[in-house]
Amino acid sequence: MSPLILSSPLVSPSKETNHLVFDASILQNETNLPSQFVWPDHEKPVLDPPSPPLHVPPIDLKAFISGDPIAASNASRLVHSACQEHGFFLVFNHGVDSNLILEAHKVMNFFFGMPLLEKQKVQRKFGEFCGYASSFTNRFSSKLPWKETLSLQYSGDPKCSNMVQDYFLNVMGEDFCDIGRVCQEYSQAMSKLSLDIVELLGMSLGIERSYFRDFYEENDSIIRLNFYPPCQKPDQTLGTGPHCDPTSLTILHQDNVGGLEVFVDQKWHSITPCSDAFVVNIGDTFMALSNGLYKSCLHRAVVNSNTPRTSLAFFLSPRMDKVVRPPKALVKYNNQRMYPDFTWSTFLEFTQKHYRADMKTLDAFSSWLQMERK
Ligand SMILES: C=C1C[C@]23C[C@H]1CC[C@H]2[C@]1(C)CCC[C@@](C)(C(=O)O)[C@H]1[C@@H]3C(=O)O
Ligand SMILES: O=C(O)CCC(=O)C(=O)O
Ligand SMILES: [Fe+2]
């Protein structure tokens, strides 16, 4: 049976389109990758020797939150230098229940272990963000990522307090209310953790500690479950292509397989898995909010030929209509604005309808905004 199935015509808003469907359970045993999954030579990963590990500073969040002044200035210094260089750091003693993290990985493995037809019941629709996608075969025609994803929207607005769980219930049905509950609880824990982290970022930037906590209180964030099946030619493709996250802050929990890589000093470096820590990285929106002081960094995910890999990414984003504009104190440094004002809803739409996020998304978005505003 072909690993790529021509699906029934997908009736999109304006036209009928046929698109391929990536059935991971079959494709993962294929030695000849379909051409759509083969990346250009300059982007193919070199897996032998493996990328050297990047030392990212481990931040003891409990010590910072406890108000210990020494710990706070320590954490602030470590974060400041990491975020000016590559934007990645680890947080431990984060206060997130380890059983919740285990449960989240369990439900993720259950979901992606379902038959393709079951997963397709929540297929991401054209132009929308939420839902299941297998390699985005209905979004892109080349450089397809070797992954399946389930993307959900989370709202910190008390009036939408169960958005994640409701999605499972309303779109997938009663049988999925347990998965929905776990994903809802996990998202809530990530939202709480992200407010602690942005408070630390504020302190490290020398502004009022509560400034970013207030800015992101009612966040409209995204949670994404990533499943990377094994691939027989892992040096030909990528699980997630080179990109900077367009969002504000990413809190990632990866399983112990490894595959996340960061581009620093003109070389790819691996981030060693550490189950009791979260990998945190600055995204484009926070880079704009810090007026370019903190860097949104190029990263990717490579795959391997033996073991499936999973990662849980929480993408913190401000309320859709909030204007992303750096505080005055961060403009005085160089007395010029690095990026125009924008709202997250406009930037998200840009990445979903106009531009495939890569390493230049924010610059492309800034140019697009200037054209649109003429
Ligand atoms: C706002 C977003 C778009 C993506 C998911 C979040 C943050 C990261 C973005 C992404 C992972 C960057 C690489 C390309 C992408 C298409 C992907 O491989 O999933 C991006 C996501 C997306 O557009 O769905
Ligand atoms: O799965 C990973 O390790 C990274 C995924 C990623 O960068 C993303 O989804 O934005
Ligand atoms: Fe990313």
List, as own/partner pairs, every contact residues 16-22 make where C-beta atoms lie below 8 angstroms and the sequence separation is at least 24, other chains included.
Answer: 17/138, 19/137, 19/138, 20/137, 21/116, 21/120, 21/134, 21/137, 22/134, 22/135, 22/137, 22/144, 22/148
**Ligand 1-lining residues (CB < 6 angstroms):** 145, 222, 224, 240-241, 243, 245-247, 315, 348, 351, 356-357
Which one of 245, 247, 260 would you pick to mutate in the ligand 1 pocket, going by the greatest count of ligand atoms within 8 A of its CB?
A: 245
**301: CA distance to ligand 3 center in Å?**
8
What is each CA distance from 188 to 38, 108, 202, 312, in whole angstroms?
37, 17, 21, 14
Concatenated DSSP letters of 192-246: HHHHHHHHHHHHHTTS-THHHHHHHTT-EEEEEEEEE---S-TTT--SEEEE--S
ipTM exceeding 0.95, yes/no? yes
For residue 130, what are the domain limits?
A: 35-372
Please give the pLDDT value at position 183.
Answer: 97
272: exposed, middle or buried (Cβ count in 10 Å: 0-12, 13-18, 19+): middle
What gap in Å lies between CA 107 and CA 87, rounded to an integer?
30
Helices 177-204 and 98-112, axial angle in degrees (round to 10): 130
pLDDT recorded at residue 139: 87
Per-residue confidence (pLDDT) for residue 15, from 0 to 100: 38
Q: Is residue 19, in this structure, part of any structural domain at all?
A: no
Q: How many domains does the chain have?
A: 1
Does residue 23 sit within a domain?
Answer: no
* pLDDT recorded at residue 136: 82
224 CA: nearest ligand 2 atom: 9
pTM: 0.94
CA of 336 to the centre of ligand 2 (A): 32
Q: Which two tokens stand for residue 49?
A: 């020797």
Residue whose C-alpha is closest to residue 7's, from 23, 30, 27: 23
Burial 335-354 (b: 16+ CB within 10 A, else e): eeebbeebbbeebbebbbee
Q: Which residues line ligand 2 (CB under 6 A)?
A: 224, 226, 240, 245, 252, 254, 259-260, 299, 301, 311, 313
For ligand 2, atom 9: residue with the closest CA:
313
CA dist., res. 208 & res. 240, Å (int): 36
Ligand lying closest to the C-alpha of residue 129: 1
Residue 7 has what pLDDT? 40
Residue 1 lies in a domain: no
- Stretches where the chain sits below pLDDT 70 are 1-19, 333-334
Assign residue 152 the CATH number of its domain. Answer: 2.60.120.330
What are the phi and psi torsion angles at 152 (to 5°)? -135, 150
